[in-house]
Amino acid sequence: MRILFVGDVHGKPGRRILKERLPRLRSRFEANLVIVNGENAAGGAGISADVAQELLASGADVITGGNHTWHHRDAFELLDAETRIVRPLNYPAGTPGRGSAVVAAARNTTRVAVLNAQGRVFMPVPIDDPFRILRAEVDRLREQTPVIVVDMHAEATSEKVALGWYLDGKVSAVIGTHTHVQTADERVLPEGTAYITDLGLTGPTDGVIGVDREQILQRFLFQMPIRFETAKGPAALHGVVIAVDPESGRATSIRRLQVPA
């Protein structure tokens, strides 16, 4: 089976290219499941009910989140109501939403578990240890399906690499998100877990990780607070296609995608 995972969708430009390109990509790679990170999809920060429906209508089967997931107030109710959206599972008990979902894959009898976790290194929110919490949730979900995909939303490369090794052989893929710059370290680890440190950005290419470059330059030059806006101009879609043996849950390949506007 094949799983298409699309990197962080940023604002309207990201949603536009997702809508334009995702159907053809799904057909081209015969993807059984599409996962989209949408934590910056609504105006460049967070997700809203309208935007979530737009991503699902564009072809996403599961939407993952991150540290900006709760930026819009209506996300609280959305996360509790929509089972196809997962937020980082290592937030405290009682946080709106859920950290994992088990969904049906198209044209395949095997179900797929999708987990979302957030790193702690260089991240401002004091949250629980993603390593131990992910391991416990993976052990629980393996009773339901051998195909498990983890979105590790983290700042530090070392934390994501370490998690890949920690879960090697226990999940089908550990996929890094958050930093918006696609890395070139995709590989299948020795025990069968597909890994990449960061999927990259689905959104504007002429900004700074999706944000208007002049605003970012002003921030670096003068260190004054400024409201960030999504960059304008051309956009690109970044992601990976993962091939997984549905019987064992072991990945057999991972391929990076870079799709220009």
Which among 4, 3, 6, 49 has a CA at the least distance from the CA of 235? Answer: 6
- Supply φ then ψ for residue 239, to 5 degrees: 180, -165
Give the confidence band of 90 by pLDDT, cuts at 50, 70, 90.
Answer: very high
- For residues 64-78, give the mean pLDDT: 88
Q: What pLDDT is stored for residue 1 in this prediction?
A: 96
Q: pLDDT band for position 227 (50/70/90)? A: confident
Q: Clarify whether 180 is annotated catalytic.
A: no
Q: Give the span between the Cα atoms of 190 and 106, in whole angstroms.
A: 28
d(CA 48, CA 69): 9
Q: Report the DSSP beta bridge partners of residue 111.
A: 104
Give the pLDDT mean for 76-83.
Answer: 92
pLDDT: which is higher, 171 or 107: 171
Number of separate domains in the chain = 1
Per-residue pLDDT tens for 36-67?
A: 999 999 988 889 999 999 999 999 999 999 98
Asked whether the predicted pLDDT for residue 195 surpasses 90, the reply is yes
- For position 224, what pLDDT does the model report? 87
C-alpha to C-alpha distances, 75 to 33, 52, 85, 236, nearest whole angstrom: 24, 9, 10, 26
Whole-number percent of the chain with pLDDT over 90: 84
Q: Is the pLDDT of residue 168 over 90?
A: yes
Query: pTM of the full predicted structure?
Result: 0.95
Q: Are strands 235-244 and 201-204 parallel, antiparallel or unpaired?
A: antiparallel
φ and ψ at residue 9, rounded to 5 degrees: -80, 125
CATH number at residue 209: 3.60.21.10
| pLDDT at residue 43, as a whole number | 85
Distance CA 2, CA 243 (A): 5
Domain housing 127: 2-260
Calculate mean pLDDT across residues 151-158: 97
Active-site annotation holder among 68, 72, 153, 180: 68
Chain segment 122-136, per-residue pLDDT in tens: 998 889 999 999 999
The pLDDT of residue 74: 84
Longest pairwise C-alpha distance within the chain:
56
Residues 1, 243 contacting (CB under 8 angstroms)? yes
Residue 207, Cβ density class (10 Å: 0-12 exposed, 13-18 middle, ≥19 buried):
buried
Confidence of residue 2 (pLDDT cuts 50, 70, 90): very high
**Strands 235-244, 2-6: parallel, antiparallel or unpaired by DSSP?**
antiparallel
For the ranges 207-211, 235-239, 241-245, the lowest mean pLDDT is seen at 207-211
Sheet strands (E) in the chain: 2-6, 8-9, 33-37, 62-64, 85-86, 100-104, 111-118, 147-153, 173-177, 187-188, 194-196, 201-204, 235-244, 251-260
Segment 227-249 mean pLDDT: 94
